[in-house]
Chains A and B, each alone.
Chain A
């Protein structure tokens, strides 16, 4: 069966049951692993987390069934690798990972790998060695099952049990669901390495508040200083800014999600006036007038924020030309391949889908050496093909978001016994002076963290 590669799904052919993973002989996977040496190796390490990511290529698309791809992804992200490393068998896939790690250590001139007594570590965490993906996730102690309890927390977003259920039972997307799904894209693609920023809905709402200030009477740069913590990620260093727009940012609940994309062209000096371009993606064909007005106000907020940061952004404004025309923009009523029973409430999945599609275009372009200005101009070229190329399937996207969230949570729990963000709970308990608030900024750009060294950002891109 012909399959289409997708970074998040592995393939659109979701009919492959996951249980079949065990039916494939391990030797085949080993051969695959050996035949495609990793192009790049990324390793992240904190107090008690050691995660390794590998980027591979050399395998034709469709050459590798989902079940085998999935196995490779799990091994390289370390979910299975750790307990496999303990019981490493000669020639197993885990040995390949171990060999790669050894080679990396040699390259880095590290004589001895820090000893990790995983068995003791996992026993301390109350986890049984040999815990596998087939077993249900252990429920962290702080999640008491109540709707308001935290299901998963990331650096800039959190999700409760209620939000998780909303995601599964096709309810409308909440801001929590939107923020988490977008932040996962940011983490998966490594956006902050390529000057791409995906802000969360809380930040976008603050920008709306800044934009709505009356310029003649009350607005003054000093007013924005009170928002500095809320909008600190908008600092003029980004080339592309994605902003989720809800039509309820003026303190109502809202009914519709749309996506705003701003391209800030590179300039020679920060004080030079830059060129800006705005695109607004609406899955209702640009008909939602209220969302359009809110988006205009948000753009005004971005312009004022950049101005306060010392960037001349006078020509940053939004008019009708920013609306991606209904001929080009996928429509949630006309183009959605899911039935209303399977994939209703499609505007939330739409903004996730459009963001992951364009982000992937930008990231892969940057990795191939294309400048951000060229990529920005290229967006206009790809838009006419967007509706044909874009497979609008909100049910699939909901599944993809659930998979990403589950994978993030599973990996964190498997590694640390906690679903806390970067296991900060453990960190600030064990080291005096380390606070949760500091931990939350670990993924943010270097210049926002007072000159601390930039962390290695994991990249999960698999080019089979």
Chain B
């Protein structure tokens, strides 16, 4: 599905490894990212939105049911290899 590599090809890595494989899914697409533990997730979010043609302000990223801040990084969220970020469309209402 993704041209950025399948999770099956990833070797199990040490807990202290510098890089993580993170899956980003919006129910229709799955994109796999490999990022450093200390890299801000803003980079990942922007890359995903750029790829999907979405406005970063109109989508919501969630990890374990918690909103993800662009300034967060995998370390601060205690993410482990293979974790998934969910992406949802923003909800608005006013009429």
Cβ A437 vs Cβ B66 within 8 A = yes
The docked-state distance in angstroms from the alpha carbon of A148 to that of B42 is 10
Q: Considering the chains assembled together, what is the distance between the CA atoms of A184 and B89 in angstroms?
A: 23
In the complex, what residues of A have CB within 8 A of residue B94's CB?
171-173, 255-257, 344-348
- Tell me what chain B mostly uses at the interface: helix, strand, loop, or mixed: loop
Cβ of B43 within 8 Å of any chain A Cβ, yes or no, is no
Shortest CB-to-CB span from B40 to chain A, Å, is 10
Interface of A toward B, CB cutoff 8 Å: 142, 147-150, 153, 156-158, 160, 162, 171-176, 178, 201-203, 205-206, 229-232, 246-249, 251-257, 284, 344-348, 428, 435-437, 440
A150 touches B71 (CB 8 A): yes
Contact yes or no, B69 A202, CB < 8 A = no
Q: Distance in Å from the Cβ of B4 to the closest Cβ of chain A?
A: 23
B82 to chain A, nearest CB (A): 14
CA gap between A453 and B70 in the complex, in Å: 31
Decide yes or no whether B56 CB sits under 8 A from chain A. Answer: yes
Partner of A148 from the list B57, B65, B77, B93 (CB cut-off 8 Å) is B57
Which residues from B are CB-within-8-Å of A437?
64, 66, 76-78
A158 and B93: CB pair below 8 A? no
Q: Shortest beta-carbon distance, B42 to chain A, in Å?
A: 8
Choose among B60, B67, B90 the residue with the greatest number of A CB atoms under 10 Å from its CB: B67
**Within the complex, what minimum Cβ distance (angstroms) separates B67 from chain A?**
5
Q: For the complex, is B72 an interface residue (Cβ under 8 Å from A)? A: yes
- List B contacts of A160 (CB < 8 A): 57
Are A248 and B88 in contact (CB-based, < 8 A)? no
In the bound complex, what is the Cα–Cα distance between A174 and B94 (angstroms)?
9
B93–A202 CB distance below 8 A:
no
Which of B65, B70, B90 interacts with A229 by CB under 8 Å?
B65
- Contact yes or no, B89 A173, CB < 8 A: no
Mask of B34-76 contacts with A, CB within 8 angstroms, 1/0: 0000000000000000000000111010101111011110001
- Nearest-neighbour CB distance to chain B for A424, whole angstroms, equals 9
Chain B: CB-nearest residue to A245: B93
Task: Output the least CB separation between A149 and chain B (Å).
Answer: 8
Is residue B1 contacting chain A, with contact meaning CB distance below 8 A?
A: no
When chains A and B are docked, how far (Å) is the Cα of A162 from the Cα of B27?
26
Distance of A229 Cα from B66 Cα, bound (Å): 8
Q: B60: which A residues are within 8 A, CB to CB?
A: 175-176, 202
Residues of A within 8 A of B58 (CB): 253
- Which of B88, B89, B92 is the most central at the interface, judged by chain A CB atoms within 10 Å of its CB? B92
Q: With A and B bound together, what is the CA distance between A76 and B74 in angstroms?
A: 38
A153 to chain B, nearest CB (A): 6
Cα–Cα distance between A284 and B95 once the two chains are bound (Å): 9
B65 and A232 within 8 A (CB) = yes
Of all chain A residues, the one with the shortest Cβ separation from B58 is: A253
A338 shortest CB reach to chain B, Å: 13
| A35 CA to B2 CA, complexed, in Å | 70
Question: Is B91 at the interface (CB under 8 A from chain A)?
Answer: yes
How far does the alpha carbon of A163 sit from the alpha carbon of B60 in the complex, in Å? Answer: 13
Determine whether the beta carbon of B69 is less than 8 Å from that of A206.
Answer: no
Q: Is the CB of A174 within 8 A of B64?
A: no
Instruction: Please report the C-alpha to C-alpha distance between residue A256 and residue B77 in the assembled complex, in whole angstroms.
Output: 33
> Among B27, B56, B76, B93, which residue has its beta carbon within 8 angstroms of that of A173?
B93
Shortest Cβ distance from A204 into B: residue: B91
- B71: nearest chain-A partner, CB-CB: A142
Q: Is the CB of A345 within 8 A of B65?
A: no
Residues of chain A within 8 A (CB-CB) of B90 are 174-176, 253
Complex CA–CA separation, A148 to B95 (angstroms): 24
Cα of A137 to Cα of B94 in the assembled complex, Å: 30
7 interchain residue pairs of minimum CB distance: A172-B94, A345-B94, A230-B65, A257-B93, A175-B91, A229-B64, A246-B91
Contacting residues, chain A, for B89 (C-beta < 8 A): 248, 251-253
Nearest-neighbor residue (CB-CB) of B66 within chain A = A440
Residue of A nearest to B42 (CB): A148
Tell whether, in the assembled complex, residue A158 and residue B69 are in contact, meaning their CB atoms are under 8 Å apart.
Answer: yes
Question: Which B residues touch A256, using CB under 8 A?
Answer: 93-95
Cross-interface CB contact of A202 among B67, B72, B76, B92, cutoff 8 Å: B67
| A162 engages B93 (CB within 8 Å) | no
Asked if A436 contacts B93 (CB within 8 A), the reply is no
Q: Establish whether residues A436 and B91, one from each chain, have CB atoms under 8 Å apart when the complex forms.
A: no
A233 to B69, CA, bound (A): 21
Q: How far is the CA of A156 from the CA of B68 in the complex (A)?
A: 10
Q: Are A435 and B91 in contact (CB under 8 A)?
A: no
B91 and A201 contacting across the interface, CB-CB below 8 Å: yes
Complex: how many Å from CA A230 to CA B84?
13
Inter-chain contact B57/A147, CB cutoff 8 Å = yes
* B88 A347 Cβ-Cβ under 8 A: no
Cβ of A227 to closest chain B Cβ, rounded Å: 8
Known: A158-B67, A440-B66. A253 touches B91 (CB 8 A): yes
Contact B27–A157 (Cβ < 8 Å): no
Verify B56–A247 contact, CB threshold 8 A: no
- Is B78's CB under 8 angstroms from A435's CB? yes
Q: What are 6 pairs between A and B in contact, CB < 8 Å?
A: A153-B69, A172-B93, A202-B88, A253-B92, A284-B95, A436-B72
Q: Are B57 and A162 in contact (CB under 8 A)?
A: yes
- Does A202 contact B65, Cβ atoms closer than 8 Å? yes
CB-defined contacts of B77 to chain A, threshold 8 Å? 435-437
